[in-house]
Amino acid sequence: MIVVKVGGSAGIDYDAVCADIAARWKNGERLILVHGGSGETNRVAEALGHPPKFVTSPSGYTSRFTDRQTLEIFEMVYCGKMNKGIVERLQRLGVNAVGLSGLDGRIFEGKHKDSVRSVENGKVKVLRGDHTGTVERVNTHLIDLLLAGGYLPVLTPPASSYDGVAINVDGDRAAAALAVALKADALLLLSNVPGLLRAYPDESSLIREIPAADVENYLEFAQDRMKKKVLGAAEAVQGGVRRVIFGDARHGQPVSAALGGQGTVVS
């Protein structure tokens, strides 16, 4: 089993990702696709007059402040446009894909965090009304049913809180939790960069290999949201996933290239 997470940043070639996945699926490989949608969510949120607000925690992690209205816009884009766009691509390629959010069947579950600490102008503020959380539990029953029926699951945040409230969760870490729960052979984190860069944005500074035991030491090279990918990779390898690869989804055959060792391989 391979878990593929494709991001939501500008430049990602979803046609290329879907064509590669469809070819591998038809060859008998078992795959699950998890996707993001942050770039499109930002665009739609601006257009709807509710621009995105990002907060940076005291420990340096950036996340989207998700009030109710943001959550609704987030769902429109992630569960609507992005999810159905990917499912349609796969259906056109002859793959019977099913798109679900983590709320559906409570596939992704975690604690609802209502407040977040944000560093603004050097001061720490507490913002309330946040709909975020972290995936702590993956309920694989529905996924097992789909796979057994020959369907390719296409999953996206949000997740469900333990009380059934929709929560915005990081897609990379959700994919990592899924890979651990399914005892996947590999987790691919595909984005619009060649992999983890030692000197971002210099693409010639690609880090090719990271020993699994050392992955957290590489957090220092990741800025902003790349940190969540490194954290997700650490969680996956600590949970028993043998290989995590940060790969390029901008062109070519992104899944096959990553599985062939291109990008940053954590093992």
Looking at 2, 4, 7, 89, which residue binds ligand ADP (CB under 6 A)? 7
- In angstroms, give the least distance from the CB of 264 to ligand ADP: 8
Q: Which is nearest to 173 in space by CA: 240, 97, 225?
A: 225
Separation between Cα atoms, residue 187 and residue 143, nearest integer Å: 16
Asked whether position 247 contacts ligand ADP by CB under 6 A, the answer is no
- In angstroms, give the least distance from the CB of 157 to ligand ADP: 11
Asked whether position 64 contacts ligand ADP by CB under 6 A, the answer is no
Binding string to ligand ADP for residues 216 to 245, with x set by CB under 6 A, is what? -----xxxxxx-------------------
User: Where do the H-state alpha helices sit in 196-240?
Assistant: 226-238
Separation between Cα atoms, residue 62 and residue 53, nearest integer Å: 10
Asked whether position 36 contacts ligand ADP by CB under 6 A, the answer is yes
Would you say 92 is a known binding-site residue? Answer: no
Applying CB under 6 A, what is the total number of residues that bind ligand ADP? Answer: 17
Asked whether position 25 contacts ligand ADP by CB under 6 A, the answer is no
Asked whether position 83 contacts ligand ADP by CB under 6 A, the answer is no
Asked whether position 196 contacts ligand ADP by CB under 6 A, the answer is yes
Would you say 89 is a known binding-site residue? Answer: no
Q: Which is nearest to 189 in space by CA: 90, 110, 264, 87?
A: 264
Asked if residue 179 lies in contact with residue 238, where contact means CB atoms within 8 angstroms, the answer is no
Collapsing DSSP states into helix, strand and coil, what is residue 98?
strand
- In angstroms, give the least distance from the CB of 93 to ligand ADP: 22
Asked whether position 62 contacts ligand ADP by CB under 6 A, the answer is no
Task: Tell me how far the alpha carbon of residue 91 is from its chain's centroid.
Answer: 22
**DSSP-assigned letters across all residues of 158-202:** -EEETTS-EEB--HHHHHHHHHHHTT-SEEEEEESSSS-BTTTT-
Question: Annotated binding site for substrate, which residues?
Answer: 64, 168
Residues at the contact surface with ligand ADP, assessed by CB under 6 A: 7-9, 36, 38, 191-193, 196-197, 200, 221-226
